[in-house]
Amino acid sequence: MDLISDLRTVIKGDVDASDETLAKYSRDASIFEVRPKVVVFPRDSEDVKNLVKFVNENKEKHPELSLTARSGGTDMSGGPLGESIIVEFDKYFNRIIKIEESNGKYENFKIDGYATVEPGVYYRDFEKETLKKGLIFPSYPASKSICAIGGIISNNSGGEKTLMYGKTDKYVLRLKIVLADGNEYEIKRISRDELQKKRAEENFEGTLYGKVFELIENNYDAITKAKPGVSKNSAGYYLWNVWDKESFDLSQVLVGSQGTLGLVTEVDLGLVKKKKHSRLVVVFLKDVKSLADLVNAVLPSHPESLETFDDNTLKLAIKFMPDIAKKLGGKGFLSLALSFIGETFMVLTHGLPKFVVLVELTSNEEKDIKERILKLHNELDNLGIPNKPMKSERDGEKYWVIRRESFNLLRKRVKSKQATPFVDDIIVDPAKLPEVLPELYKILEVNGISPTLAGHAGDGNFHIIPLMDLSRDEDRKKIPVVAAKVHELILRHGGSITAEHNDGLIRSPYLEKMYGSEIFELFKRVKNIFDPNGIFNPGKKVGSDLDYALEHIKRS
């Protein structure tokens, strides 16, 4: 088989197997390196359908063939990496088809508008267009300047506004997807009666609906019980979201599935109105216990965001302040430094904080937000918690840049070691943070790991990024040891090993431990129902191999 030549006869789009391209697509934002055979850039849905049919037709003779979807390539789990065919969507599937007010079209969803968009659209471009209509897609991640819609859906992403609005699964209204038979289908929420009609159809789609329904219905109590008791989760397949005894929404098992069940070609996303006014109260905390106390004190004020980063992240931002200045749209280094004078006096008085917490309050009324900011400021003062209300939305932007750019600074500016995300997305009930975080730090310290920590304090979700030298076997050997101990800690406290970054190569091997053998067996059955020939993104979710993952950790 001449794979490259054959693919060029199959699709109208581009086929590229150059060393430069293969090297680029061997990596994402994770710790892994997996070299593909070829990267294809499908031009339209017909190309995607033909790719699926081609792999199916040749799978028996060439079992190594598979299709792995990719868009922005910012995944931190190794999700879009594969040894066979990478299907890149950002080149041609990059249209924002429409953005409209809801007008009752999706009346069962709490949205103000919706957008029809393709998976290769970068979020930064999408947001510019939604804001023209006063709308936002509220589950955007911190990487919003570099990520794409396909990855947001694939990982069931969340971010700084998830505390108020929820994750991506709440805003996926309709999907177009090419499934394993090589046909494109429209998937959306349907009623009980519509479900019965679907199940009666004697075709691939009817069989699919029938088998998934039977699997969920026959295991309903176990599936319901398996849903993690935290506000966010991206681990496994979300079987608990599909069937509520009244409506059936197969899109909910596709969101967060990391391209293991099919290839998404178009999506309708729900949008909400952006609040007219936003202000930050920046809080400086000296220890972990104060963080949990703060969360409990602030949540009654209904913040739209409650974010945090630690002292290591703050030191990194100070070290690379010129980078922060560039992200602020031309603000000079000197003027940026001067804008931190108030904070400098607080540090001189109280010492360098262990955590910086960003409390964002929003409102459509300026008077309301001023009153709420003053009330929160006074409450925190009475509790003896150092805090500084920002005078305007612009004044607070410097803190958002530090929070959003922390991982990129680690990746791009720290040269002696690599940012090593492998326990980068833990979540527990915020009330358990005083107990969990000290144990977490102890695990890292005992193993000689110094991390940065940032995350979504209101959800109890933290991103832990150690700096390690992956060229050293000694550092590489720490990864499975520390991962196992951290996961055990998080699961012991009823949390999830991934709140929003998903499973990929790094966490799929731990899914059975998280959910137990009964639920994990259901995950395997779901994969087989959707993808009986195993052509979509193998080795993720199910069929994973920890040894394989460890062997593919990059060295530089």
Q: With a cut of 80, say whether residue 324 has pLDDT above it.
A: no
Q: Is 78 inside any structural domain?
A: yes
* 458: Cβ contacts below 8 Å, ≥ 6 apart: 163, 295, 298, 299, 303, 305, 306, 307, 430
Mean pLDDT check: name the lowest of 243-252, 270-279, 337-346.
337-346
Q: Is 160 inside any structural domain?
A: yes
- Residue that terminates a domain, selected from 57, 88, 119: 88
Q: The domain spanning residue 348 has which CATH number?
A: 3.30.70.2190
Shared-domain flag, residues 110 and 211: yes
Domain that holds residue 296: 276-412
Q: Is 390 inside any structural domain?
A: yes
Shared-domain flag, residues 418 and 283: no
Q: Is 363 inside any structural domain?
A: yes
Shared-domain flag, residues 246 and 175: yes
**Average pLDDT in the 412-438 region?**
88
Q: The domain spanning residue 147 has which CATH number?
A: 3.30.465.10
Shared-domain flag, residues 253 and 293: no
- pLDDT given for residue 339 in this prediction: 57
Which SS3 state, helix, strand or coil, does residue 91 take? coil
Shared-domain flag, residues 290 and 348: yes
Which SS3 state, helix, strand or coil, does residue 426 take? strand
Which SS3 state, helix, strand or coil, does residue 431 take? helix
- pLDDT given for residue 392 in this prediction: 86
Shared-domain flag, residues 283 and 346: yes
- Residue that terminates a domain, selected from 361, 383, 412: 412
Shared-domain flag, residues 287 and 377: yes
Shared-domain flag, residues 297 and 268: no
Q: How many separate domains does the chain show?
A: 5
Shared-domain flag, residues 211 and 147: yes
Tokens of 447: 């193993």
Tokens of 155: 């990982």
Q: Is 528 inside any structural domain?
A: yes
Shared-domain flag, residues 77 and 199: no
pLDDT tens-place string over residues 293-302: 888 889 889 9
| Dist CA 386 CA 302 (whole Å) | 20
| Average pLDDT of the residues of the chain | 92
Q: In sequence order, what DSSP letters do the residues of 478-547 get, joined into one string?
A: HHHHHHHHHHHHHHHTT-BS-SSS--HHHHGGGHHHHH-HHHHHHHHHHHHHH-TT--BSTTSSSS--HH
Q: The domain spanning residue 36 has which CATH number?
A: 3.30.43.10
- pLDDT given for residue 136 in this prediction: 97
Tokens of 324: 């922060």
Shared-domain flag, residues 360 and 432: no
Q: The domain spanning residue 496 has which CATH number?
A: 3.30.70.2740
pTM: 0.93
How many Cα atoms within 13 Å fall on the side-chain side of residue 468?
Answer: 26
User: Beta 263-273 vs 113-117: how paired, if at all?
Assistant: antiparallel
- pLDDT given for residue 400 in this prediction: 83
Shared-domain flag, residues 322 and 238: no
Q: Which of 515, 28, 39 is nearest to 542 (CA)?
A: 515
Q: Rg of the chain's alpha carbons, rounded to an integer?
A: 23
**Average pLDDT in the 216-239 region?**
97
Band (319; pLDDT cuts 50, 70, 90): confident
Q: What is the 3-state secondary structure (H, E, C) of 136-184?
A: ECCCCCCCCCCCEHHHHHHHCCCCCCHHHHCCHHHCEEEEEEECCCCCE
- Residue that terminates a domain, selected from 88, 108, 133: 88
pLDDT tens-place string over residues 399-414: 888 887 777 777 666 6
